[in-house]
Amino acid sequence: MKRILLSGGGTGGHIYPALAIANAVRRRYPDVKIAYIGTENGLEARIVPRSGDIAFYTVKIQGFRRSLSLENLRTVSKFVVAVKRSKELLREFRPDVVVGTGGYVSGPAVFAAHRLDIPTLIHEQNVVPGLTTRFLARYADTTAVSFTSSEIYLEHAKRLVHTGNPRATEVIHGDAEKGRRSLGLDGSDKPIVLFVGGSRGARPINEAVLQMVPRMAELPDVYFVYVTGEIHYEEIRRRLDGRAPENLRVVPFIYDMPDVLAATSLAVGRAGASTLAELTALGIPSILIPSPYVTNNHQEANARWLEGQGAARVILERECTGDRLWEEISGLMKDPLKLRSMGDKARNLGRPKAAEVLVDELERICR
């Protein structure tokens, strides 16, 4: 495999799996050339160029609205233009294979590759596939899914394989000792409860955590690590106003997340597909508060799946108060056998070699 082109965007849940695939391909083919098609204003435009030697190209595209709208006519027009532009880029870069990891930006690139007879693979991260995946599954040589329960939505796919989420492969090499050191907790073996709502944070989770801060001193043998999100950090520090207990660490963002996760005993946060991949790869029990603002309410579907396997507890955002959250956390932290059982069940669901399995599949369709 000499050249691979990736496409996916909109959220980190589509971008980071693509980059995990890129890293796995590089481990097997150190001289591989990698390109990426995204949008100029999407999150991928900031993340991908910082991720190593990857050529970054852009197309202009927008997603479909879920209701009947004249705007959808513009979307179709932009899709046609983006497919034409993608064909030009593909002829220029000459990839051996094109991989789409979701988000509407991946549609033109994968469809253009199909029309040019270039092998294609698409990867779906969530339990309920998005519109782009459902559309592309008819054309892609392989459709890879993170959850077996996604298969009922993709019966029209040419070839369907269960690989897991490649993001899982990125976290299995985390170093717990480094993670504790980065938090200023080196030399301690106390369990860590990690609160994280994504890179930008989640205001409802922040509010619930703030409500329960006074009660954290009731568990002095537990460290609480509270990731506020960068845009909320100063406000949270102001509202705490020196009232944080000694066993609470408040940080705006964590850059070495694999190391911190390796040291985590219980995670509290959203239920994005990449988050679930990380939790199951490492066997971390969790309390999930799915975002109700995402397409198809897919985070709740993700969370309910993990809860159904006994690996997580779910609190809906509208039910997430400080009292409710503290009840769940304190109950689990006082019951190490239950916590361990949830962790074991999470680990049994993990696919830590997902990225390597995907590279195997890429090799197959490139033959």
Q: Model confidence over 268-325: pLDDT tens digits?
A: 999 988 899 999 999 999 999 999 988 778 899 999 999 999 999 999 999 999 999 9
Give one DSSP letter per residue of 81-124, joined into a string: HHHHHHHHHHHHH--SEEEE-SSTTHHHHHHHHHHTT--EEEEE
Torsion angle defined by CA atoms of residues 228, 277, 41 and 233, in that order, rounded to the nearest 10 degrees? 0
Spatial separation of the C-alpha atoms in residues 351 and 130, rounded to whole Å: 21
- Note the maximum CA span of the chain: 63
Query: Is residue 296 annotated as involved in ligand binding?
Result: no
CA distances from 234 to 71, 321, 360 (A): 38, 22, 46
Average pLDDT over residues 216-231: 93
Query: Is residue 9 annotated as involved in ligand binding?
Result: no
Spatial separation of the C-alpha atoms in residues 349 and 279, rounded to whole Å: 9
SS3 161: strand
Flag whether pLDDT at 64 surpasses 70. Answer: no
Residue-level length of the chain: 367
CB 121 within 8 A of CB 115: no
* φ, ψ (nearest 5 deg) of residue 242: 75, 10
Query: Is residue 11 annotated as involved in ligand binding?
Result: yes
Spatial separation of the C-alpha atoms in residues 72 and 191, rounded to whole Å: 50
* pTM score: 0.84
Query: Is residue 13 annotated as involved in ligand binding?
Result: yes
Tell me the percentage of the chain whose pLDDT exceeds 90.
75
92: CB partners within 8 A, 6+ apart: none
Token pair of 6 as six digits = 């990736």
CB 159 within 8 A of CB 199: no
Give one DSSP letter per residue of 301-359, joined into a string: HHHHHHHHTTSEEE--GGG--HHHHHHHHHHHHT-HHHHHHHHHHHHHH--TTHHHHHH
At 198, the pLDDT band (50, 70, 90 cuts) reads low
Q: Model confidence over 319-347: pLDDT tens digits?
A: 999 999 999 999 999 999 999 999 999 99
DSSP class of 137: T
Q: Model confidence over 67-96: pLDDT tens digits?
A: 555 565 576 788 999 999 999 999 999 999
CB 288 within 8 A of CB 306: yes
Average pLDDT over residues 29-41: 96
CA distances from 33 to 9, 23, 216 (A): 20, 12, 50
Q: Model confidence over 134-188: pLDDT tens digits?
A: 999 999 999 999 998 899 999 999 999 999 999 999 889 899 999 999 999 988 8
Question: By C-alpha distance, which of 285, 260, 244 is closest to 178?
Answer: 260
Token pair of 161 as six digits = 């394989």
Write down all domains in the chain, each with its CATH number in brackets.
3-169+352-366 (3.40.50.2000), 173-349 (3.40.50.2000)
Integer Rg of the chain from CA: 21
Give one DSSP letter per residue of 54-79, joined into a string: EEEEE----PPPSS--THHHHHHHHH
76: CB partners within 8 A, 6+ apart: none
